[in-house]
Amino acid sequence: MRFIVLDGPLGSGKATHSKLIRDKYLAKGEKVILRSHPSQDGKYGIKAKNALIKTGPLNKIKAPIYYTLDFIQSAQTYYGGVDTVIFVRYLMNLAYLPMPLAKIMYWIFTAFLPVSEYMFFLDLTPEESMKRMSGQEDQEEMFKMLEDLIKVRGKALELANEWHVINTSGTIEEVQNEIDEIIERLDSRVR
């Protein structure tokens, strides 16, 4: 089973590119599951979403903890007979935590949960992220201040040092071509 992860700052194109990847494999006749976190169908995903809507220091701790539990619950689901599983969001929630705790949690993730060579960090400057988010009606996450985006991006890039980091400031087609090239190279090694 191919396990693909897409993560990155708000507005970096995670949803768009995960759907393009899904559609590519569906067109090849493969069975694909796409999971986005926080999930809408699990109790921890709902709690994470609720914590993201609220403000305050306690919710900045609760949101990533619930998110982590949501991800663990999702990762433990059996995906028998599936060719490709795509997870949207895997790392960024940990970057909201203080860096020593984020590193510990990331170590736990990579020690006990699925990892693969198909892990993509869709990078975007905090300023561009703010531009892309402006005017969005579903402004639900508490971490949408420029200072927070700068801090979180720096920590996330430090944690994602072995991932494929893709600059998403270009067009959707340019970014997807770069992702496709990496995926095709990895797929050819597995065949």
Looking at residue 135, its pLDDT comes to 62
Out of 23-37, 80-94, 175-189, give the one with best mean pLDDT: 175-189
Mean pLDDT of 103-130: 88
- In the sheet that holds 164-167, the strands lie side by side as 32-36, 84-88, 2-7, 119-123, 164-167
Name the residue with higher pLDDT: 30 or 46: 30
What is the rounded CA–CA span in Å between residue 32 and residue 1?
10
pLDDT average, residue stretch 173-184: 97
Predicted confidence at residue 98, as pLDDT, reads 86
Superfamily of domain 2-190 in CATH is P-loop containing nucleotide triphosphate hydrolases (3.40.50.300)
The mean per-residue pLDDT over the stretch 158-179 comes to 95
Average pLDDT over residues 101-111: 85
Question: Does residue 124 register a pLDDT over 70?
Answer: yes
140, 53 contact by CB (below 8 A): yes
For the cut 60, the answer to whether the pLDDT of residue 137 exceeds it is no
More confident residue, 142 or 144: 144
Q: Where are the domains of the chain?
A: 2-190
| The pairing of beta strand 119-123 with beta strand 2-7 | parallel
What is the rounded CA–CA span in Å between residue 24 and residue 30? Answer: 9
pTM for this one?
Answer: 0.82
Please write down the HEC assignment for all residues of 57-105. Answer: HHHHHHHHHHHHHHHHHHHCCCCCCCCEEEEECCCHHHHHCCHHHHHHH
CA 95/CA 16 separation, integer angstroms: 22
Mean pLDDT, the chain, integer? 84
